[in-house]
Structure 1
Amino acid sequence: MIVRLNNTTTSAIAREIDELHVERGEAAQGRVLTLVIITDGPHLETALETINSASREHPCRVIAMVTDAEGHTTAEPGPEESAPARQIDPDDECISYKATEHGGEHTLDAEIRFGSDAGAGEVVVLKPVTALLDHSDALVIPLLVPDAPLVVWWPGNPPQDPSKDPIGAMATSRITDVMGSDDRQAAFASLLEHSGAEDVDLSWTRTTIWRALLASMVDQPPHLPITSARVTGQSHYLPLELLASWLALKLHVPVSVERDPEARAITGVYFERSDGTMSMERHKTDQARINQPGQASQAISMPLRTAVDCMSEELGRLDPDEVYQDVIRQGWPMVDHNSQDQP
């Protein structure tokens, strides 16, 4: 179910949510966190589809802030969406401008989604005029789930410094995704400069399975010293660069990166030891193969991680990722990240 509120206020949105909970016999107390998505209109539905799936493991209230809503006309409700468009109540305590200040145009439109349109929670889509984006924190505060962590996700272009963003400054956890930005190299260079303890990028989360399997593989006997490592994979792919940086930090050996424009994601990691090469490879399938000197090759299932997989992991771990911070601060300079090939 989708309820649309046109030219509305934050207090009116909060009241509507409460009324819908009462009508449906639900309670918001079961929400474990509030997730704010900051995105543009073209990428809104893709981001919401991802969160709708991820929220089934982590019930949450989702607030989607559309950053380019000004000038876009809100569609009229369909037959199943019969709620009338709300108007600004002069008695409301609200975060909005009077419609007359913008020539009668909408200043804040919203959608409230429940049921099959909202995963295991409710979704509030805010579509403010550009001037209101400077006060985005004030727009969000009345809609937060009380006493619950606040997570902010930028699925596209992140701010230069997420901690200085009005909403990001309030967050328990800040999630970016450089792979979804228009300029990956510039975006990650900025994140490297400004990253704080509450920050993590989904490029790092995409390497979780690789890191777990590689750690297990290295831990197997005969425990011979590793003298060097090589990582291969897709060009302009930040997870490849982060995995190499993690290996350099943990193994304290030279780590090289081989980039292939034809590759799809990370394709292999190779460790050099005195008895030969130990490797884990994945090529064009969802299956990886572990090769150890003097042993038979082993095949293991290793599908590419989806955005749903990555967001589910991050929503389930809201404490600072200290390993990620160590990798980007200490491990990243230990690897030659050729500027023309990365991220």
Structure 2
Amino acid sequence: MIVTLPHSTTQEISSELAKLHAERGEVSQGRVMTLLISAGEDELNSVLVDAIYASHEHPSRIIAVVNDGKEVPSFDELPITAVGTVAPLDAELRLGSDGGAGEVIVLRPAGGLQRHLDTLVIPLLIPDAPVVAWWSSNVPDSPANTLLGSMARSRITDAQKNDDPIEKFLQLRKHHTRQDTDLAWTRLTIWRGLLAAMIDEPPHAAIKSITVTGNDHHLSVDLLASWLAWAMKVPVRIEIDNSMRGVAGVHFFREDGEASIERRGDEDINIYLTKPGQPEQKVSVPHRTLGDCMTEELRRLEPDEIYNTVLTQGWDLVDHSHWDK
């Protein structure tokens, strides 16, 4: 069910939502969080598909604010005085199969309302429930210093989907806070689990160096190398393989020979594990979807201390100069 509310107000939106819940015999108390999304009009529907997918594990009130393709203003860019005239606010309410395990509120603020998103959003938040903010693209350099970000206890970005993901990620790292995370890191969860298991298996031959292979403009490759450099305390270098869209493999050079984990083709759903003197193992590891990554992130609303440490300590242990080529 989709209900459109042209030229509306937050009070009218709240009243209509309460009426629809009453008609359907639903209550909003079962929502575990409010998920704030900043998205462009052209990506809105695909982003909501992933948010709704995640809501089946985390019933949420999803509030999607459609932006105009510009970064949401930070506090120091806001005008001193309020906007003199009231700009129109178009809204949609999506419930049932269109709203997942909660409901979706789509806000399309125009004109000066873009500079007062907190005033629009705060009356629509679920009382006493945590707030998570997600920028699917068009990521601000400093999420914590935006109106949406200031309301959230957890902030999720996806720098890889920006026009210049590398420059955007460097800006995010510069302004990073403990409550921020990026989906380039989330995409590595399975890789990190497989690598940790492989390292823990005997024999525990000393690792002398590590090579991470993958696409030269994919942030996950550099984050994985940085994590390994920090965790293993050995030299780690990045080798380019642009036949892959992300991480292609990790090679451990040990005292007893080379051990590796590889995905041998971009469309291959399998990852191959090799160790000296042992038969090759094949593990089915399909590429993670955006919905999978969002579902994982919404399980953890506390700061990711490993990610914070990788950014502050591990990043500078690896040569990232391939980005300059």
**Class of the TM-score when normalised by the shorter of the 2 chains:** over 0.9
Q: 1:215 corresponds to which letter in structure 2?
A: A
Aligned residues: 312
**What's the counterpart of residue 276 of structure 1?**
257
1:194 maps to 175
2:279 aligned partner: 296
Give the drift of 1:341.
5.7
RMSD of aligned alpha carbons: 1.7
Of 315, 324, 336, the match for 2:319: 336
Residue in 2 that maps onto 1:7: 7
1:30 aligns with 2:11: no
* Aligned counterparts, 1:230-241, within 5 A: 230-241=211-222
Offset from partner CA, 1:209-240 (integer Å, 9 cap, x none): 00001000000011111110000012200001
Amino acid across the alignment from 1:240: V
TM-score, length of structure 1 as denominator length: 0.88
What is the aligned partner in structure 1 of residue 101 from structure 2? Answer: 120
Q: Which runs of 5+ in 1 are unaligned?
A: 71-95
Note if 1:54 corresponds to 2:54: yes
Q: 1:1-343 to 2 correspondence within 5 Å?
A: 1-68=1-68, 101=85, 107-284=88-265, 285-340=268-323
Q: Kindly tell me: are residues 26 and 113 of structure 1, through their superposed partners in 2, closer, same or farther at Cα, counting changes over 3 Å?
A: same
User: Is the Cα–Cα contact under 8 Å of residues 51 and 291 in structure 2 kept in the other structure?
Assistant: yes
Distance in 2 (alpha carbons) for counterparts of 1:69 and 1:299 = 43
Other-structure match for 2:78: none
- Work out the CA distance in 2 between the residues paired with 1:150 and 1:15: 21
Q: Which amino acid aligns with 1:301?
A: S
Cα distance in 2 between the residues matched to 1:159 and 1:31: 28
**Contact kept in structure 2, 1:38 and 1:65, CA below 8 Å:** yes
Distance of 1:69 and 1:215 partners within structure 2: 40
- Are the aligned partners of 2:214 and 2:221 in contact in 1 as well (CA < 8 Å)? yes
**Per-residue deviation at 1:130?**
2.9
Q: Percent identity?
A: 50
Preserved contact between residue 83 and residue 112 of structure 2 (Cα < 8 Å): no
In structure 1, give the amino acid aligned to 2:319: D
Gap change, CA 1:295 and 1:122, over 3 Å in 2: same
Match of 2:79 in 1: none
Query: What is the one-letter code of the residue matched to 2:16?
Result: E
Q: Is the 8 A contact 1:235 1:263 kept in 2?
A: no
2:216 and 2:322 in contact (8 A); partners too? no
Give the superposition deviation at 1:139: 0.7
Write out the 4+ residue segments of structure 1 that deviate beyond 6 Å after TM superposition: none
Amino acid of the residue matched to residue 62 of structure 1? I
8 Å CA contact retained: 1:37, 1:63: yes
The unaligned stretches of length 5 or more in structure 2 are 71-81
Find the aligned partners of 1:326 and 1:59 in 2 and give their Cα distance: 31
Find the residue that maps to 2:26 and give its secondary structure.
Answer: coil
Determine the C-alpha separation between the residues in 1 that align with 2:161 and 2:13.
30
| CA-CA distance at 1:69 after TM superposition | 9.1
Query: Could you tell me how far apart the structure 2 residues matched to 1:186 and 1:66 are?
Result: 24
8 A Cα contact 1:69 1:129, kept in partner: no
